[in-house]
Structure 1
Amino acid sequence: MGNADLRSLASLREVEFAEIEGSVVAVDAHNWLYRYLTTTVKWTSDEVYTTADGTEVANLVGVVQGLPKFFEHDLTPVFVFDGAVTELKADEIAERREKREAAEERRAEAEAAGDAVEAARLEARTQRLTDTIQSTTRELFDLLDVPYVEAPAEGEAQCAHMAASERVDYAGSEDYDTLLFGAPRTLRQLTSKGNPELMDLAATLENLGLTREELIDAAMLCGTDFNEGVPGIGPKTALTEIREHGDLWAVLDARGAEIANAEAVRELFLNPPATDDYDVDRDIDPDVEAARRYVVEEWGVAADEVERGFERIEEAQVQTGLDRWT
């Protein structure tokens, strides 16, 4: 289901940080990191984050600029990295690759035409989480004592599982799929200015008069990352059809339609691969000086681009109380 489709069904409200301070949030690392990565690339000279051999580590700038928001509001992030990509998502991954390649071609044309602004905009669209970005992000998290979890498959599914098992207080993602994966409460807009947005599963189901299974069925009728929807069905029609016919299979029968791998997709949302082999430690003790050396000296990132982020992390240690951090 497209983001706009599921947003129109979800129960959402803005929350003050004071309402959620002291909480632990399982953050979809791919989702969070990609947003900071693309923003850094779009608005920062590539000389800032490119090593002498041409390796790009814009992620290090993004991490240092993004983490303070958690610490300043007394939130403990537990970042969840994607594991193996499910075969059901192969078409989605291929489509993203095609879009990235098309953006790369347009970027080259913009550069040749001397359009630096358009080239920078398109450069942001070509970003992907390379092996170097993956490894250096984890190494920086280790230095800053930020916990992270390796998911067996989809990161947002693992976040939802952690929130549903109540080992963390919230899932954290811009992806509405956490709702379908069963996250009771998801914090959105953690990479944006201002307060976050709370997406509530129980309130969503109550407002719509649906079970979680019926919500998944409605989403599948519209289309998700794992399946094509039924032509002509949007969120309102999907709700009407589910209420009238009862479930996905009855709707498909009534319309003479089909969804490839429908049973597998539905099962994926209901029982996604997830692990309980992790610890949630709220006692964070970041070694800011070691992290600063790692980013600036080892990877050559311009010091003035990350210094304020490191200062904010140090200030947060004092603001939230040393007993909270050590």
Structure 2
Amino acid sequence: MGIKFGELLNEIREPLKLRELKGKKIGIDAYVVIYQMLARIRSDDDSANALTDAQGRTTSHLQGLLNRTLSLVDEGINLVYCFDGKPPEFKKRELAKRAEKKRRAEEEYKIAMEKEDFDKAKKFAQQMISIDEQIVDDSKKLLDLLGIPYVTAIHDAEAQLAVMAQQGLIDAVASQDYDTFLFGAPLVLRNVTVSRTRMIRGQLKTVIPEKIYLEKALNELRISRTQLINLGLLVGTDFNDKIPKVGIKTGLKLVKQFPEWNDLIDHVSKTFFKEGDTMETYFPAAAPEIIQDYFNNPPSIDDLTINFNQRADIKGITKFLVDERNFSEERVSHRLMGITKKQKQKSLNSFF
């Protein structure tokens, strides 16, 4: 879901030119990219369905991941992807809500198809998108073959990436989710794509790559990171429900007026809670203190090392995509030309 406080950052976000990232180490939220590709790349005969191979296995994510990754590598950017691990217990309620939303979308999709209302069917198909184990395993296999490192977080990828950035293992985090700031990522990049397009609410739209510095954002908003986390709790996170009648602007005023959580929630409960509401109404999965601690001290991988100098297995990529997943050999060969040339040049340089 992600925290919805993008409107507060309109005066803080800065345009980003991809050439600025040459030689930089960028951590990418893998699930965000995979979801984007599943939403964007559809079959030619039915735009409501993803691309599949001869056995019916989804391949949209592989095509998108290949193109997105190599386009950024061609810009001289060092990439590391991060996959979500097992969700924390207090996130399972949110995941159950998402699963129910997908189930309802599936029912609506079937009704729309029966009525031959293909525009509506496409809308519900977007809501049905999910990332299963096969999609994750195939994505990791492709990254292995490309020589692109990846890590699997203990829980949330954005938390692991934020810790990696704090430790200096990467220079920035590339993610569309603003949650990354709550976990303390110093620099977040959005819309990191050479094509400058992204699927937004079912529509392909032009986007501008941008960068947002956490310290600058906090200074401009005149709040601390603790207050930012408290703001997140007011407007709703993946771990708790939104307080009624508290939007992002009202929430910002409140965290400034009441910097301490106990004072803040005491005022909010008296002013905004509905009759009969308790803390458990809006924090049913975990107490606020537990969620605050999770944002401040998320579990992360100890003693992590990342090898950014792996070689791509050109033959292995071709075998996987062409022989096993029915990609066009000509297209795959053409897409691999850049990385093949680069590896040959490296080999030649090392020889001399």
Given the two structures, how large is their TM-score scaled by the length of structure 1?
Answer: 0.89
Work out the CA distance in 2 between the residues paired with 1:274 and 1:139. 23
Q: Which residue of 2 aligns with 1:83?
A: 85
One-letter amino acid matched to 2:226 = E
Pairwise mapping of residues 1-326 of structure 1 onto structure 2 (< 5 A)?
3-9=3-9, 11-41=12-42, 49-191=51-193, 193-194=195-196, 196-255=209-268, 256=270, 257=273, 258=279, 259-260=282-283, 261-303=287-329, 306=332, 308-311=334-337, 313-314=339-340, 322=346
**Cα gap change, 1:317 to 1:72, in 2 (>3 Å):** farther
Work out the CA distance in 2 between the residues paired with 1:50 and 1:250. 54
Structure 1 runs not aligned, ≥5 long: none
One-letter amino acid matched to 2:247 = G
SS in 1 for 2:66: helix
Q: Which residue of 1 aligns with 2:202?
A: none
Work out the CA distance in 1 between the residues paired with 2:215 and 2:156. 22
One-letter amino acid matched to 1:8 = L
SS in 2 for 1:67: helix
Work out the CA distance in 2 between the residues paired with 1:117 and 1:305. 30
SS in 1 for 2:82: strand
SS in 2 for 1:276: coil
**Cα gap change, 1:120 to 1:152, in 2 (>3 Å):** same
Give the superposition deviation at 1:254: 1.7
One-letter amino acid matched to 1:129 = I
Give the superposition deviation at 1:117: 4.7
Asked whether the 8 Å contact 2:189–2:210 carries over to 1, the reply is yes
Work out the CA distance in 2 between the residues paired with 1:227 and 1:292. 45
One-letter amino acid matched to 1:283 = N
SS in 2 for 1:187: strand
**Cα gap change, 1:248 to 1:69, in 2 (>3 Å):** farther
Identity of aligned residues (%): 29
Asked whether the 8 Å contact 1:76–1:282 carries over to 2, the reply is yes
Asked whether the 8 Å contact 2:72–2:193 carries over to 1, the reply is no
**Cα gap change, 1:79 to 1:272, in 2 (>3 Å):** same
Asked whether the 8 Å contact 2:71–2:194 carries over to 1, the reply is no
Give the superposition deviation at 1:14: 1.1
Give the superposition deviation at 1:285: 1.6
**Cα gap change, 1:71 to 1:192, in 2 (>3 Å):** closer
Work out the CA distance in 1 between the residues paired with 2:119 and 2:180. 35
Bigger mean CA deviation after superposition, 17-26 or 303-312: 303-312
Work out the CA distance in 1 between the residues paired with 2:73 and 2:14. 22
Work out the CA distance in 2 between the residues paired with 1:117 and 1:42. 15
Asked whether the 8 Å contact 1:79–1:147 carries over to 2, the reply is yes
Work out the CA distance in 1 between the residues paired with 2:45 and 2:342. 25
Deviations 1:120-163 (A, max 9, x none): 44333312111111111111111111100011000110011101
- Matched length: 324
Bigger mean CA deviation after superposition, 4-13 or 130-139: 4-13
Work out the CA distance in 2 between the residues paired with 1:304 and 1:116. 32
SS in 1 for 2:212: strand
Task: Compare the two structures and name the one with the higher helix fraction.
Answer: 1
Name the structure, 1 or 2, with higher relative contact order (CA <8 Å, separation 6+): 1
Work out the CA distance in 2 between the residues paired with 1:83 and 1:13. 31
SS in 2 for 1:25: strand
Bigger mean CA deviation after superposition, 306-315 or 265-274: 306-315
Deviations 1:249-274 (A, max 9, x none): 21111232534221111111111111
Asked whether the 8 Å contact 1:36–1:191 carries over to 2, the reply is no
Structure 2 runs not aligned, ≥5 long: 197-207, 274-278
Work out the CA distance in 2 between the residues paired with 1:95 and 1:33. 21
Asked whether the 8 Å contact 2:191–2:209 carries over to 1, the reply is yes
**Cα gap change, 1:309 to 1:153, in 2 (>3 Å):** same
